[in-house]
């Protein structure tokens, strides 16, 4: 992507120094790719389905928790590298750019846009949605209307899932901010009520919500193309990221099998399809994953 490094965003909460090296209790916001792979390995090792321990499939199917050991200084805080600081600058750029796009686009649908914060953390953090560790992956918490990201996720996305490139990283941020747009529009609350009324359709409704967030990420992607911020290979990088974190691919990597009834984010093909719809149209109206 074509971007210029600048100071940190006013909407960036850098809590890496506060959370690096801490041990707090497991996440309540869901289990990410790291946790899924552990359950898959245990299932294969002991010949039992450890996925039955879960009440649902992962709530952050677009996430992959870092498993690599981090270097720590003598105070227990994780050491930051020049590469990581450049990544912080990139996250700041994408955060501001996505929000500036929605500040212009959302009022056209009759809803004013309200900026959110993005929280950077290491290893584990406490949010208004509960405690989360790195294995939960990036997530949006509607209770405090903030996006949470451990930068180690991007290494996992590249190394384990083969999704590299800056636009792949930007897609993840834009997806989570898509959830913020849904929250401002009241869509997430409508889905929660529908899930309570129709528990048997809870996963299906979750998939529709996540696919819409993919489409909304594509709407932002369309604006970057219009402003000539994309370089050769960027679109392919974003589509590859969407495909890499489909529920079917994650399940197959974990267990060698696919369980469509446990999908919460959609298959690789579905995620690519809806991301492409947003990319090609640039319109919120193209993102009606619920039909009707």
Residue 14: which pLDDT band, with cuts at 50, 70 and 90?
A: very high
pLDDT of residue 159: 87
The torsion angles phi and psi of 143, rounded to 5 degrees, stand at -65, -35
Do 230 and 167 form a contact (C-beta atoms < 8 A)?
yes
SS3 content of the chain, % helix, strand, coil (to 5): 55, 10, 35
Name 130's bridge partners.
127
Per-residue model confidence (pLDDT) at position 32: 47
Enter the pTM of the model.
Answer: 0.81
Residue range 213-248, pLDDT digits in tens: 999 999 999 999 999 999 999 999 999 999 998 999
Q: How far apart are the first and last CA of the chain?
A: 36
More confident residue, 181 or 34: 181
How confident is residue 282, by pLDDT bands cut at 50, 70 and 90?
Answer: very high
pLDDT given at position 37: 53
- Read off the pLDDT of residues 270-280 as tens digits, 9 standing for 90 and up: 999 999 999 99
Task: Say if residue 90's pLDDT is above 60.
Answer: yes
Whose tokens are 């405090």? That residue is 144
pLDDT at residue number 81: 82
- Helical segments of the chain, H only: 16-19, 33-46, 82-105, 152-159, 166-185, 187-197, 202-226, 234-244, 247-255, 268-281
pLDDT for the residue 110: 92
Between 157 and 281, where is the model more confident? 281
User: Would you kindly state where each structural domain of the chain is located, as residue ranges?
Assistant: 12-287
- Percentage, residues of the chain above pLDDT 90: 62
18-71 tens-digit pLDDT: 877 544 444 344 444 545 554 454 444 444 444 444 433 333 434 433 333 444
Distance CA 86, CA 71 (A): 18
């Amino acid at each position: 992507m074509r971007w210029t490094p600048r100071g940190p965003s006013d909407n960036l909460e850098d809590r890496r120094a506060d959370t690096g090296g801490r041990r707090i209790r497991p996440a309540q916001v869901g289990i990410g790719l790291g946790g899924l792979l552990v359950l898959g390995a245990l299932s294969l090792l002991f010949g039992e389905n450890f996925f039955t321990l879960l009440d649902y499939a992962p709530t952050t199917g677009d996430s992959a928790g870092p498993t690599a050991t981090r270097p720590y200084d003598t105070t227990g805080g994780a050491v930051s590298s020049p590469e990581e600081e450049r990544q912080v600058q990139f996250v700041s750029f994408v955060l501001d750019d996505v929000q500036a796009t929605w500040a212009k686009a959302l009022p056209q649908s009759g809803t004013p846009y309200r900026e959110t914060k993005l929280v950077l953390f290491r290893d584990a953090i406490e949010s208004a949605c509960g405690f989360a560790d790195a294995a939960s992956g990036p997530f949006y918490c509607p209770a405090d209307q903030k996006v949470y990201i451990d930068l180690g996720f991007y290494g996992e996305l590249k190394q384990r899932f083969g999704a590299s490139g800056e636009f792949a990283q930007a897609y993840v941020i834009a997806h989570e901010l898509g959830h913020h747009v849904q929250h401002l529009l009241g869509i997430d609350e409508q889905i929660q009520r529908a899930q309570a009324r129709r528990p048997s359709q809870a996963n299906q409704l979750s998939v529709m919500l996540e696919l819409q967030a993919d489409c909304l990420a594509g709407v932002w992607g369309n604006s970057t193309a219009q402003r000539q911020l994309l370089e050769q290979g960027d679109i392919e990088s974003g589509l590859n990221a969407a495909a890499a974190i489909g529920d079917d691919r994650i399940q197959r990597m974990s267990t060698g099998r696919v369980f469509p009834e446990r999908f919460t984010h959609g298959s690789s093909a579905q995620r690519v399809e809806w991301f492409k719809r947003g990319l090609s149209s640039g319109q919120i109206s193209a993102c009606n994953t619920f039909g009707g």
